[in-house]
Chains A and B, each alone.
Chain A
Amino acid sequence: MPHSRRLQHALLNLGVVALLALVLYWAEQRAGEYQIRLLNNAAIFITLAISYNLINGICGQLHLGPNAFVTIGAYTSALLTLSPAEKELTFLITPLIWPLNQISTSFLVSLVAGGLMAVIFAFLTGFPVLRVRGDYLAIVTLGFGEVVRVLANNLQWLTNGPLGLKGLYPYTNLWWSWGVAVLALVVITGLVNSAYGRAMQAIREDETAARAIGIDPFRHLMLAFLVSAFFFGVAGGLLAHLITTISPTLFTFFLTFNLLIIIVIGGLGSNTGAVLGAVLFTYGSEVLRAVEEPITFWGLKLPGIPGMRMVIFSLALLLVIIFARQGLLGRREFSWDGCQRYLKRLTRGLV
């Protein structure tokens, strides 16, 4: 790519970020609590979805354990921001172990720590997990989620058991959630477009062939596994300080399933698709809330059906994977060049 065009793209990217900041500033000033909540959710889902897409879409390995890393990040971050006095009040049955009961850090430090803790766990589990492929990888990662839940339930001196942690300060605001989303987007798109990313895609297409040209699948998959775990952990910290109460059953396989819906509908392997899917999912599940509430339809009273949303979502996932496997975008990505070409075509049509 010529130098001038790269500069142009960088400027355009900066422009988009500035525009986003402007929108967020406006939302913070004007939008209601509900809108802000949705914007936060959308940003966190974007972070989670592009990290998830890195493993499932780019590397082609069905990882079913993001909820485990989100849980680890959430607990780590929550344990760091709570003040010693609050911890003493929360841990009634079994006191929290030293030194965690003494320290209290800033939100930023706690988020980074949450991400790093998830990375450490990912590294340790990576050895058994990345030795296997396909269905085995899926079931081992799924099992990891279960193990984390069992540990969170039982290690009372660390997690306060089934009661969980309460009264976290709601640090997460639009700047934090969207800041992390933009960071994740920059890091992961950068990774996908690098030599590492191309190697990952080669592994997805044909692992034997990739091996034959000298790509080490273990190292590349581990890299993807660690990068995604970091952002899962950070997103966990954000979620903890958004919901302000966490417990072992908060982030279950259900979360993973939602992420799977997002990336499949957006298009497995496309970062743009993951972002689009996350936004659609956030707002779509709000729109679908209507089916769970009683509605009056032309004077006809229809009772709401609780739980109907998940039926619709799972059916949608089933239909998309059977009939439209490529999702909305397939593996296509947004690019400024593509935009330019599109605009040119459009204007040519007009003139």
Chain B
Amino acid sequence: MDFATFLQQLINGLSLGSLYALIAIGYTMVYGILRLINFAHGDLLMVAAYTGLFGIGMFSLPWTVACALALGLTGVMGVLLERGAYRPLRRAPRISLLISAIAASFFLENLALVLLGGRPRAFPVPPLMAGAIKLDGLFIPRLSLWTPTITLVLLGVLFLIVYRTRVGIAMRAIARDLETTRLMGINVDRLIALTFLMGSVLAGAGGLLWAMRYPQVNPYLGIMPGLKAFIAAVLGGIGNLAGAVLGGLLLGVLEILIVAFFPAWAGYRDALAFGLLIVVLLFRPTGLLGEVLMEEKL
């Protein structure tokens, strides 16, 4: 493989990786605060993808409006999810919370299946992101450049909120110790809802970009990216925002490069992430950048 091909695959991998990072942030934020895998997080991708699809394709809205609408709706869905499926169980045993998360995820998928049908639909890719540019023998899809850029901007805003505002301080305080934060007079429930809102908007952006990358929208669209993004979050150290980004990029690049170097292994691509997860849990359960989070709550 020559250097140009390698570079091309690397850009491709970084693009996929930044998508994983975008989705992983939502997992890691919720996990940091509630110690819960939000199983339905992946399904928010599906919600965003369908909203975008119907907005552009059916109501022929300008794609910017449709995408903004998709982000908004996904954010609202995330908050509703927290209200409906997680808040009532805040004092319940952990296993109940997890079962509730799984049930919510199945509910969303099957509701979408009933309402929208199981047939995959083509996602209309906006002209700005379609096509590819040729550069010095490199062939780079425009989307592969847009995805990391959009991710970078969104993450910049997120990091500003989390590390530079009072709301961000409160969020980080909840992640440390929920009960004490409550005693400090902070409305914990409202902040948790806000966390879900932010994570869900990022998932919405991830869903739209995912649908542009693999323009086949179906009700089960979000499952695989969701699982892999969660693994990326564990890989980077769950509860750690920078870790989620690092884990996402690493997983994306690894997936693309392994398939590029060993085409015969392409069929095993989906198993790679889980293999990686087992290795991480065996040898470094806190992930690459994680603090010792696991033992506190176990």
Q: Any chain A CB within 8 A of the CB of B247?
A: no
Q: How far is the CA of A62 from the CA of B278 in the complex (A)?
A: 17
Give chain A's interface secondary structure class: helix
Q: Any chain B CB within 8 A of the CB of A310?
A: yes
Residue of A nearest to B270 (CB): A150
Inter-chain contacts of B98 with A (CB < 8 A): 62, 134-135, 138
Q: From the candidates B88, B99, B234, B274, name the one contacting A146 in the complex (CB within 8 A).
A: B274
Q: How far is the CA of A283 from the CA of B267 in the complex (A)?
A: 38
Q: Any chain B CB within 8 A of the CB of A60?
A: yes
A134 with B277: CB separation less than 8 A: no
Q: Any chain A CB within 8 A of the CB of B50?
A: no
B102 with A257: CB separation less than 8 A: yes
A311 with B111: CB separation less than 8 A: yes
Inter-chain contacts of B92 with A (CB < 8 A): 325
Q: Any chain B CB within 8 A of the CB of A274?
A: no
B230 with A308: CB separation less than 8 A: no
Inter-chain contacts of B282 with A (CB < 8 A): 127-128, 131
A138-B278 contact given A317-B99, A321-B100, CB 8 Å threshold: no
Which chain B residues (181-215) contact chain A, with CB distance < 8 Å? Answer: none
B270 with A146: CB separation less than 8 A: yes
**21 CB < 8 A contacts A-B:** A62-B98, A128-B281, A128-B282, A131-B281, A135-B35, A135-B36, A135-B98, A139-B231, A147-B271, A147-B275, A154-B267, A260-B99, A268-B95, A311-B110, A313-B106, A314-B103, A321-B96, A321-B99, A321-B103, A322-B100, A323-B88
Q: Any chain B CB within 8 A of the CB of A22?
A: no
Inter-chain contacts of B84 with A (CB < 8 A): 318
Q: How far is the CA of A118 from the CA of B294 in the complex (A)?
A: 29
Inter-chain contacts of B294 with A (CB < 8 A): 132, 136
A153-B95 contact given A131-B282, A318-B103, A321-B89, CB 8 Å threshold: no
Which chain A residues (208-266) contact chain B, with CB distance < 8 Å? Answer: 257, 260, 264
Chain B, interface size: which category? 35 or more
Residue of B nearest to A263 (CB): B99
- Smallest CB separation, A208 vs chain B (Å): 9
Q: How far is the CA of A150 from the CA of B271 in the complex (A)?
A: 6
Residue of B nearest to A148 (CB): B271
A143 with B110: CB separation less than 8 A: no
A132 with B285: CB separation less than 8 A: yes
A307-B110 contact given A131-B281, A135-B37, A138-B37, CB 8 Å threshold: yes
Q: How far is the CA of A315 from the CA of B100 in the complex (A)?
A: 10
Q: How far is the CA of A321 from the CA of B103 in the complex (A)?
A: 9
Please encode chain B, from 271 to 293, with 1 for each CB lying within 8 Å of some chain A CB and 0 for all others.
Answer: 10111011001100100000000
Residue of A nearest to B283 (CB): A128
Q: How far is the CA of A150 from the CA of B227 in the complex (A)?
A: 15
Residue of A nearest to B107 (CB): A314
Q: How far is the CA of A147 from the CA of B275 in the complex (A)?
A: 8
Q: Any chain A CB within 8 A of the CB of B94?
A: yes
Please encode chain A, from 3 to 23, with 1 for each CB lying within 8 Å of some chain B CB and 0 for all others.
Answer: 000000000000000000000
B89 with A322: CB separation less than 8 A: yes
Inter-chain contacts of A322 with B (CB < 8 A): 85, 88-89, 100
Residue of A nearest to B38 (CB): A135
Q: Any chain B CB within 8 A of the CB of A140?
A: yes
A307-B274 contact given A60-B95, A134-B298, A138-B37, CB 8 Å threshold: no
Inter-chain contacts of B159 with A (CB < 8 A): none
- Smallest CB separation, A71 vs chain B (Å): 14
A56-B95 contact given A139-B277, A257-B102, CB 8 Å threshold: yes
Q: From the candidates B94, B95, B267, name the one contacting A150 in the complex (CB within 8 A).
A: B267
Q: How far is the CA of A103 from the CA of B40 in the complex (A)?
A: 45
Q: Any chain A CB within 8 A of the CB of B62?
A: no
Residue of A nearest to B114 (CB): A307
